[in-house]
Structure 1
Amino acid sequence: MHMNGPENMTRDERLRICRDIASRLREVYGERVLAIGVYGSVSRGTDGPFSDIEMFCVLRESGEAADCSYEWSAGPWKAEVNVRRADIMLGEAATVEGSWPLTHGPYFSQLSLYDPQAFFPRLKEAAESPTAEDFKRAIHEVLVGEMYEFIGKLRNIRHGGPHTYLPYLAMAFAQYGAMLIGLHHRHRYSTGAMVVPEALTLPHRPDGFDAVARMVMAGELADASTIMSACEHLWDGLVRWSAEHDYAIHTRRIPF
């Protein structure tokens, strides 16, 4: 049966494609290649029959620009290859931002296809280097940059609509609430599909998170009053959670 888009593929077939891509990268970039690895579900061994391929190509430090991404579909499968200079990758790995629990897993574990100078252990060391203050700062940024804005949008809707935006807001509350929980525990989620379910397994969750998370996972997003009540409850829980763990939401009136 002909199928548009991804087709059923075995893990061995997918790994064979990864090796072919690695070989081509070494042809294109030559001696500049420092390391090549696979990340995502393929590196974890959790790839399904329709999973895509995600790879790193790390280049030696030089004066030449090297920060690009190839993303393509070959018909039955899709691949993404991030080409980065080593110093850029090490800097990214050592940085903590709001989506760290989802984005930084690749820096901790890769399936190495080529690494003669042991770059990937250095990458893991860089990823483990952020301090408690770095995580605290990222949590503050999510609380103010995302959650505070979300509650303002929710209250605007209560004041005058439109209610059609509420399902998206509920999903945003659940997603970024999970990021806060992950940052608090320095926990890396396995995949985007599991962010909210995995957050529910971690301790010290803000009061109200569970109700919003379960509402979103069940797709129960039709009743406006239920969404607004649940999200307000989560916001109140976040304020208490932040005070309990010394995470600042408010600062002085003008902080500069």
Structure 2
Amino acid sequence: AVEDCFRGALCRPLLQRLAELPLFLLPGNQLVKMGGGVFRPRGARESLRPLFRAMFPMFACPATLAEEFKTAGLADLVSEVTPQRVRSKLRQDPKIIDNMARLYAAAAAGGIGSQPGEDGDFVEFVTDVLEYCLLDLSGHGTAHYKELGGVRLLPCANEQVLCFPYAAYVATAAEQALLPALRESFVHHRCSDRLAQWFRSPEFLSTLSLTSFSPAVLASQLHTILPRHWKGQPAVAAYSAGAAGQ
């Protein structure tokens, strides 16, 4: 109780006054008032920082500072990066992903340790962003997964990143190898493997037009791997490696 009184009598007025002064540092050494930027979210992966900076005027200060204002009862003054805000930005400007792809390509060309991303792995980066954007949707059912509609965060096996919803198959690396001609129709296995909590959810899959790989899917796509001249034939000649040269 004493601590609460102290915050109310001293901390709250002090922090309220500080929020009105140009004391908050943005990239580029620009000082602004608290209303001129956003705080980075606590617990977000470090790989997301370049994306957040590209989207928002993000303060170059610890996220714990935002907690100080909240604790003092000034939460209404705190503007933070949130999954909902990131989804909204990506929906408004899908080219943000293209810009990040170019940065990662440049980082990969520059060698290990280049920025952004220590290894220049763009698929991992997109998976990081998707994971973050799913944080406030988990466990809320179909209606909430629709929030990903129009958001370009679906990495495919051919390295393209597409918008949700998209009719694609979710499969392991071994399953994808069975249909090599359909790389554009598979979710990148490293993304679906890492985010299996969602990519194995029937609600998530059905809402976003995704389908789990199955024997039925393989059967429906056999025409993509069998010789074209077999199509429509009631029977075909047997083939063996020994007879190939005859």
Larger Rg: 2
TM-score by length of 2: 0.30
Q: Specify which structure has the higher proportion of strand.
A: 1
Q: Which has the higher contact order (CA 8 A, sep 6+)?
A: 1
TM-score by length of 1: 0.29
